Amino acid sequence: MSDLPSTLDFISHRLSTLLSSLSPSSVIHTLLLLVVVPVLVMIGNFLIPKDHVCSRTAEYAQPNSKLWNAIVEFGAYPRWRSNITRVETNPPGHIPPDGFEWFREFSPRGDMNMKFRVIERLEGKLLKREIVREGGVHFSGSWTIELESTGENSTRVTITEKARVHKALYKVMGLIIGYNKIIDLFLMDLGAKFDQQVIITDSMKVQASGEKIREKSGKSSNKMVLEE
């Protein structure tokens, strides 16, 4: 405890030196950051849960096979995904030590990349990819991409994200930006690949609404039986 006053004096002196070298507007911005960032970290630590689930759905006027091929051809992602510039894929014929096929996505910022491994694959129906946690990756989890044919040339695609955010500030950022943003971008880019605008719906809300309708229907049926 004896070192605490001198440490505080040192920090105070460094902050004073830094603030005196800045313009008035920069001083205000710096002070705001010094206040806002710790508050956001506290909110992230105590008020926002680590785990979240987000599920989004879009309908396409395309046969299942075309959409499936686009989704599983990871190396071709940069041709149609607007937030991906390059993809590294598992070399053909090479079996990784863990036995899972993998690919790495690079964003427009060259230093930003993320590795995924395919942990489940049902041809034409389901692809589940999982984040491989490496240095600098502050979250873990998976995407489950499901395809359902709704007609000869129409397909419903649903992406469900189950993730855990390990850094408080990233939890706050995810809540502000929206956990669905990247999923929605993927679904919109997939539509754009086939020159189609898509309407995206929240699968979880639709599912919840369906359950409520079924629950009400069940109650009505029970009431009719009782009245009889």
* CA–CA separation, 123 and 130 (whole Å): 18
* CA–CA separation, 130 and 141 (whole Å): 6
* Length of the chain counted residue by residue: 228
Same domain, 36 and 127: no
Same domain, 93 and 200: yes
Query: Residue 21: which domain range?
Result: 4-44
Same domain, 40 and 55: no
Same domain, 40 and 121: no
Please check whether residue 222 lies inside any domain of the structure: no
Same domain, 37 and 123: no
Same domain, 83 and 12: no
Residuewise pLDDT in 10s, the chain (228 residues): 444 444 445 444 554 555 455 555 554 555 454 555 455 445 445 455 678 899 999 999 999 999 999 999 999 999 999 999 999 998 877 777 778 899 999 988 766 789 999 999 999 999 999 999 887 777 789 999 999 999 989 999 999 999 887 565 555 565 666 678 999 999 999 999 999 999 999 987 655 544 544 455 555 545 544 455
Please check whether residue 127 lies inside any domain of the structure: yes
Instruction: Name which of 141, 126, 128 is nearest 53 in CA terms.
Output: 141
Same domain, 82 and 177: yes
Please check whether residue 153 lies inside any domain of the structure: yes
DSSP 96: -
* CA–CA separation, 141 and 170 (whole Å): 14
Site of tokens 């995924």: 116
Same domain, 10 and 86: no
The pair of structure tokens assigned to 92 is 């053909």
Q: What is the pLDDT of residue 130?
A: 96
Q: What is the pLDDT of residue 112?
A: 77
Please check whether residue 60 lies inside any domain of the structure: yes
Same domain, 104 and 177: yes
DSSP string, 67-94: HHHHHH-GGGGGGT-TT--EEEEPPTT-
Q: What is the pLDDT of residue 123?
A: 96
- Say how many domains are in the chain: 2
Which CB contacts under 8 angstroms, 24+ apart, belong to 136-139? 138/165, 138/166, 138/167, 138/170, 139/163, 139/164, 139/165, 139/166, 139/167, 139/170
Contact 81, 189 (CB under 8 A): yes
Q: What is the pLDDT of residue 109?
A: 75
Residue type, 208: A
Please check whether residue 227 lies inside any domain of the structure: no
Contact 132, 121 (CB under 8 A): no
Q: What is the pLDDT of residue 218?
A: 56
Same domain, 74 and 187: yes
CATH of residue 211's domain is: 3.30.530.20
Q: What is the pLDDT of residue 175?
A: 61
Please check whether residue 225 lies inside any domain of the structure: no
Q: What is the pLDDT of residue 98?
A: 76
Burial of 172 (0-12, 13-18, 19+ CB in 10 A): buried
Instruction: Name which of 134, 104, 108 is nearest 118 in CA terms.
Output: 104
Please check whether residue 172 lies inside any domain of the structure: yes
* CA–CA separation, 120 and 42 (whole Å): 37
For 158, how many CA atoms within 13 A lie in the half-sphere containing its CB? 15
Q: What is the pLDDT of residue 147?
A: 98
Please check whether residue 75 lies inside any domain of the structure: yes
Same domain, 80 and 125: yes
Same domain, 71 and 134: yes
* CA–CA separation, 162 and 144 (whole Å): 8
